[in-house]
Structure 1
Amino acid sequence: MEFSKNLLFFFSALGAFNGLFLSLYFGFLIKNRSRATHFLAALLFVISVRVTKSVFLTFYPGTSSVFVSVGLTACFLIGPFLYLYTRIAINPHKVHKWNWLFHVIPVLIFMTIISIQYPYREYRHLWWRSPPRIFGMLLFIQWTLYTIAAIHQARNTFKILWSSTKKITTLDFWIINIVTGSFIIWLAYNTTTYTSYIVGALSFSFTFYITLVIWIIKRRKSTLTFLTPTVKYANRKIDQEKASSIADKLNTLFKEEEIHRNPNLKLSDVADQLHIKPHELSQYLNDNLELSFSNYINMHRVKTATKLIQTNTLLTLEAIGNECGFKSNSTFYTAFKKQEGMTPSQFKKSWK
């Protein structure tokens, strides 16, 4: 048993060192640094400090209470930094420059007071997982809430894993791995008996995995730009009132007037009728509907085609395609199958 424990702590020490190196890399050495990479660096740093505290406390029982308090503070910061990284990576424009301080400063103040009033050496029982574990319970609640919040932030990213229409991007891949790895560390810390052993080994695996991913990307001569999403029109996002107005007008143009039946319809034509600039319309479709202009008009053309197939028995399928605004039969069939999952002829047979 002693050998296995020593082996686990050996990997814990490696994990702590590897995590510190990665936090330095993401914080200062990576070429495309951003707020997202800085918070990822902070997350890896506090995980490493937490593991380092356990390693020293096990091999050097006389470790100062100050260092132990630093390790416990790092444990309180894992949840906030995971949430901040996830939120900023997905929606950077929704987090103001200094808002992150509201998640970090209270923890620092709280732990400073606790370290002075309740030194770990004298009140370590308050950190146990059995009563009267008041500080241990506070840590569990705080870490759990932030972990849930981070998973909630990344929920749409996880949905892509089971989507047959959307492709996973490198940013999605990175967020999924960071959130999943952090969740496993949280789970091990709060459910296993020997948290120091298990969490330390898991932290080693987590940081080693990230290192391996970076090494593979570097071997492919790629960059790590995917750590920070490129948000189109991020600095000039359409406000909610204007977006609602555009939606109402588009509904009138496409559902009531059916302007998509015009085979020569262009983005600028629609923008003129909406009395906005073409780039604003493109921005609205991309940001609010996650559709390009061509996909948007094809969506309406296919909807109109399905209605005609069901109600008009005189027109041929080719004529229906032309009537709906498609310039060629092949374009009609391709768009129809993409949206409905079957060809127009198959759809027609299903309604007989």
Structure 2
Amino acid sequence: MNLGQQTLFLISGIGAVNAIAAGTYLLFSWKKKGGLPAIFLGLLLLAFGIRVAKSVFLFFNPQLCRLYLQIGLSACFFIGPALYHFFCATFSNITRMPASWKWSWGLQLAAVVVTGIIFPYRATPDIWNQYLVWIIYGQWALYVAATMVLVAIHRQRLHWGTGPGRFLLVLFASSVLVFTAYMLSLLRVAPGFYIISPLSFSVLFYVTLAFSRHRFAVTSVAKAEKKKIGDPDAQRWLQQLERVMGEQQLYKDPALSLATLAARINISAHQLSQLLNDNLGKSFATYTNEYRVREACRLIATNDRLTFEAIGYEVGYNSKSTFYAAFKKVTDTTPALYKESSVVGRR
């Protein structure tokens, strides 16, 4: 390669290498970098990086091993799902992967593996070039369209003035531009679009990174812009909350935390905290203590065999002093005085 070709190779390849590195890093540190959205961003970068790397090497080496061609096209099959689920998880603050998503990814992964085994690229290049490539790009196009609809629905939450908003807007625009360049190359609109795609990705990768306030960190739009939870969602979540706390008596678990309770009703800890504060006017500690003290009052009034300390442990407190302090704060009296008043009331 001459100097111009070497420069072109370096520029177009550096973005792919860094995207693979960034994607791998996110997949191994997703808990620290934003939870579930970080997993899908990592998958998106990894799939894009592998696809772009294949394009670069094929452009400068047309005799590239066909196994690499199959790996590159297979990775392309996961770009669309990763993009769509990243935006879904970010907009909705989803902390645990829904079962439907697991099934979707499992089936698509199985389809790629089985197809690759039955129709390896080295033995059936015509099938890949004439049929499978169109299926891959068609699936990618459907997911891009679905993501467009998702972004349109939540467009009011994507403010250019906020760091997360800018990051999401630039990431979405970059993904659409790279997809468009690859589609134009596939449709043979212009031969140069095949190398333009990797070049565009390299530039857009660093532009997107520049608009992220923290390196590879995924920040939820909902955290950047606090909005009151809509009444339909609030009522539904409150009903779910009442079920797990009242019927399942989740409050009896001494290790119960805001994050654990939020996961049980499939919302984020941030949303649960906002729900309790905005709709009930209570903190998580106050809300939990009221359930525990209410049950303690019932036991004090109906069970003479249990000591106050045993009742405290029964309703979820791990120390006598904590139970007494919470009981006094909620009822403005002590367990002993409450018992006396309940005995008098029964006479």
Q: Indicate the residue corresponding to 1:190 in structure 2.
A: 183
Q: Indicate the residue corresponding to 2:133 in structure 1.
A: 136
> Residues 153 and 168 of structure 1: is their aligned pair in 2 closer, same or farther, counting only changes over 3 Å?
farther
Q: Indicate the residue corresponding to 2:119 in structure 1.
A: 118
Paired amino acid for 1:200: P
Paired amino acid for 2:166: F
Q: How many residues align?
A: 236
Of the candidates 169, 174, 192, which is equivalent to residue 167 of structure 2?
174
Q: Deviations over 1:124-178 (max 9, x none)?
A: 33444xxxx22122122111110011111111443567xxxx7753322222111
TM-score by length of 2: 0.57
- 1:262-281 mapped onto 2 (5 Å cutoff): none
Matched, 1:209 2:207: yes
SS of the residue 1:121 aligns to: coil
Q: Deviations over 1:273-332 (max 9, x none)?
A: xxxxx9669349xxxxxxxxxxxxxxxxxxxxxxxxxxxxxxxxxxxxxxxxxxxxxxxx
For residues 216 and 116 of structure 2, the distance between their equivalents in structure 1, rounded to whole angstroms, comes to: 42
For residues 150 and 94 of structure 1, the distance between their equivalents in structure 2, rounded to whole angstroms, comes to: 19
Of the candidates 228, 231, 238, which is equivalent to residue 234 of structure 2?
238
State the Cα distance separating 1:51 from its structure 2 match: 1.2
Q: Indicate the residue corresponding to 2:278 in structure 1.
A: 282
Matched, 1:150 2:147: yes
Q: Deviations over 1:238-296 (max 9, x none)?
A: 345989xxxxxxxxxxxxxxxxxxxxxxxxxxxxxxxxxx9669349xxxxxxxxxxxx
TM-score by length of 1: 0.56
For residues 113 and 216 of structure 2, the distance between their equivalents in structure 1, rounded to whole angstroms, comes to: 40
For residues 167 and 12 of structure 1, the distance between their equivalents in structure 2, rounded to whole angstroms, comes to: 28
Paired amino acid for 1:140: Y
For residues 275 and 98 of structure 2, the distance between their equivalents in structure 1, rounded to whole angstroms, comes to: 27
| Structure 1 unaligned blocks of 5 or more | 244-277, 285-352
Q: Is the CA contact (8 Å cut-off) linking 1:36 and 1:228 kept in structure 2? A: no
> Residues 28 and 14 of structure 1: is their aligned pair in 2 closer, same or farther, counting only changes over 3 Å?
same
State the Cα distance separating 1:188 from its structure 2 match: 0.4
Identical residues among aligned pairs (%): 22
> Residues 223 and 48 of structure 1: is their aligned pair in 2 closer, same or farther, counting only changes over 3 Å?
closer
Paired amino acid for 2:234: I
State the Cα distance separating 1:196 from its structure 2 match: 3.4
- 1:332-343 mapped onto 2 (5 Å cutoff): none
